[in-house]
Chain A
Amino acid sequence: MAELLQNEEVLRLLELTKNGLLFAIWETLYVTVISTFFSYVIGLPLGVITVVGEPGGVLPLPRPVMAVINFVINILRSVPFLILMVVVIPLSRFFVGTSIGTTATIVPLIIAAFPFVARLVEASLREVDGGVVEAALSMGCSPLQVITKVMIPESRPSLISGFTTAFITILSYGAMAGAIGGGGLGSMALNLGYQRRMTIILWVSVVVLVILVQIFQSIGSRASVRLDKRVRKVDRKQKRKANKVEKAGFQ
């Protein structure tokens, strides 16, 4: 035991856990949460527009407008993130005052993620049954009411799944931010673990990232299913209750 405590690697790990790991986790979450939030602020309306703005949609927009929106989304989605990070350096400087560091990575993350979010939202909204939208229109819904009261609530389970995907993708993209001096688990793995050859740190950061992804994915999946009223949840609950009663009877 004492030997183990004198092991250089283990000592380094303990040191790191005390000083760096928790902070790195916090930095990762901070960057991911803020970036996801702003990606949705931009991406959600954009995704909605790509669906409702189509010819024959709820709020048809002029074709050139739609073409520009789709073009911008496609262009941004096709630029690799590492390159995007470098390209948007002036933009980061403009928005957050600096182009290096943790906060500065938020800008390229948002720019990389909002088109992705827009496409996720688009896919979710397309799942909404056209008949339900038609029914809402027949009741005298305005386009805005159709969007906020029908399309978004009706696609809620799918939107939540999409949100989980977006959150996890942003989390893993954020790990690349180590390359431009951002903090977090990614930079810990990259700068300490890889470049300074502290293999154990590399592995610990990776394992922690994996655990984080697992946690968020299962929370997201569960929320998506639980909030989906198309699933006969009450039936299942009642069945479970009935089962319990039966079992109690046997005892």
Chain B
Amino acid sequence: MIELKQVSKVFPTEDGDFEALSNIDLTIEDGDIFGIVGMSGAGKSTLVRCINLLERPTSGGVYIDGANLMDMTSAQLRQTRRSISMIFQQFNLLMQRTCLKNICFPMEIAGVPASEAKKRALEYLDIVGLPDKANAYPAQLSGGQKQRIAIARALASNPKVLLCDEATSALDPTTTRSILRLIKDINQRLGITVVVITHEMAVVEEICTHVAILDHGHMVETGKVEEVFSNPKTEAGRKLVFPEGANIDQFPVADVVRVVFNGGSSYEPLIASLAIDCGVKVNILGADTRNVNGQAFGSMLLGLPEDKAESAKAMAYLKSQNNVTVEEVPDYHG
């Protein structure tokens, strides 16, 4: 279990101190795939580096299985880091070593005998699906293959935790999906806790069980992905989950409501039945649908008719639906 308690990080700059993280409290249970999302500059990378103390928090505590990393000597810290692997956006492979030697690297550091290290490295090459690349150099691989080697290297130290710092941000969508599948597979097969840092909501939807939203160094929301995504409570959360949420400004409409689907429902029948059952025609101003862990989620912006009676009827109908939350959008600027 990973616990961050009141973690703050302040960077001194020329124009005064910059608080990259302020009082972050976070608990990540064993076996979770935990997503940390936020806009660029929100402090995600700093936060993930605080977990293995590559970045030492200015204050607060970082507990891995109850032990506070902040209190450790550098030797103890090095020992602990061996159980927390990390993969990076730029892969960070050793360019002058073959793939096999790259995977052997963490074992070499830990003092595993060379022959055993090699044997295990070959197994990990198999797990990541590149058994034929043992003697290739990283320069000969594509981005996705490099990240696979980086994952194999990360697994080589038998970690309990895998930290992914924008691990798929340099990859194309297809490769991203295959890397995410691999990470999910590793999580399920080896029971490794995964922490994913990303600015792509799609990544969180694809693999995460839990998510935390970071905004300007503050953790504004956290919880299960379904909960946070179906009903983001904060402005920052809404901006991330519904990036195009309220920017459809070409229709002059009187009343605007946001209909949020909380899973299990589909979109068209609702609007169609609204028209058929109530005879109310609504304007769809925008819709954003997504699939989270097999359930349908999304939101829709509806422009209600100007007639008050009709719009009240529509509201009543919408509110009576299961799996649907309706809220008015008073600050909608048409």
**Residues of A bordering B, CB below 8 Å:** 129, 131-132, 134-142, 145, 149-150, 153-154, 156, 228-232, 234-235
Minimum Cβ distance to chain A for residue B101 (Å): 10
- Closest 4 A/B residue pairs (Cβ): A135-B92, A140-B81, A140-B78, A131-B92
Contact A139:B96 (CB < 8 A) given known A230-B139, A231-B139, A232-B139: no
Q: B137 in the interface, Cβ–Cβ < 8 Å?
A: yes
A140 touches B109 (CB 8 A): yes
Q: Which residues of A contact B140 (CB under 8 A)?
A: 232, 234-235
Alpha-carbon distance A149/B101, docked complex (angstroms)? 11
A137-B54, A138-B85, A142-B78 known; A156-B96 Cβ under 8 A = yes
B84 at the interface (CB under 8 A from A): yes
Smallest CB-CB separation from B135: which chain A residue?
A234
A134 touching B94 in the complex, CB below 8 Å, given contacts A140-B79, A140-B82, A231-B139: no
Residues of A within 8 A of B106 (CB): 139-140
B94 and A150 contacting across the interface, CB-CB below 8 Å? yes
Q: Would you call B92 and A132 a contact (CB within 8 A)?
A: yes
Binding site for A on B (CB under 8 A): 52, 54, 78-82, 84-86, 88, 90, 92-98, 105-106, 108-110, 136-140, 157, 163
A154 interface neighbour in B79, B95, B109, B163, Cβ under 8 Å: B95
Count of A-B contacts judged by CB separation below 8 Å:
76
Whether A149 and B109, one on each chain, are in contact in the complex, defined by CB atoms closer than 8 angstroms, is yes
CA distance A138 to B82 in the complex (A): 8
By DSSP majority rule, is chain A's interface helix, strand, loop, or mixed?
A: helix
Apart from A141-B109, A153-B96, A229-B137, list 10 A-B contacts with CB within 8 A: A132-B92, A138-B54, A138-B163, A140-B80, A140-B81, A140-B109, A140-B110, A142-B78, A156-B96, A229-B98
* A134 to B90 Cα, complex, angstroms: 11
Chain B proximity of A154: nearest CB distance (Å): 6
- Chain A residues within an 8 Å CB radius of B96: 153-154, 156, 228-230
**Bound-complex Cα distance A109 to B109 (A):** 38
> Separation in Å of the A49 CB from the closest CB of chain B?
19
Q: Which residues of B contact A140 (CB under 8 A)?
A: 78-82, 106, 109-110, 157
- A219 to chain B: closest CB distance in Å? 20
Q: Please give, as numbers and ranges, the residues of chain B lying within 8 Å of A139 by CB-CB distance.
A: 81-82, 85-86, 105-106, 109, 157
Given the interface contacts A141-B109, A149-B105, A230-B139, does A134 sit within 8 Å of B82 by beta carbon?
no
21 A–B contact pairs at CB < 8 A?
A131-B88, A131-B90, A132-B93, A135-B88, A137-B81, A138-B54, A138-B81, A138-B84, A139-B86, A139-B106, A139-B109, A140-B82, A140-B109, A142-B78, A145-B109, A153-B97, A154-B94, A229-B98, A230-B137, A234-B136, A234-B137
A228 surroundings in chain B (CB, below 8 A): 96
With a CB–CB cut-off of 8 A, which chain A residues contact B108?
A: 149
Out of B78, B92, B97, B139, which one reaches A134, CB within 8 Å?
Answer: B92
Q: Is the CB of A138 within 8 A of B109?
A: no
Is B86 a contact of A229 with CB atoms below 8 Å? no
Most buried by A among B94, B108, B140: B94
A228 to chain B, nearest CB (A): 8
A129 to B90, CA, bound (A): 10
Query: Closest B-chain residue to A141, C-beta based?
Result: B109
Query: Residue of B at shortest CB range from A134?
Result: B54
Tell me how far the C-beta of A126 lies from the nearest C-beta in chain B, rounded to whole angstroms: 16
Contacts of B95 in A (CB 8 A): 132, 154, 229-230
How near does chain B come to A65, taking the closest CB pair, in angstroms?
19
Query: Once bound together, how far apart are the Cα atoms of A188 and B301, in whole Å?
Result: 91
Q: Considering the chains assembled together, what is the distance between the CA atoms of A145 and B80 in angstroms?
A: 16
Q: What separation, in Å, do the CA atoms of A134 and B45 have in the docked complex? A: 13
Contacts of B82 in A (CB 8 A): 139-140
User: Which among A140, A142, A229, A234 has the highest number of chain B CB atoms within 10 Å?
Assistant: A140
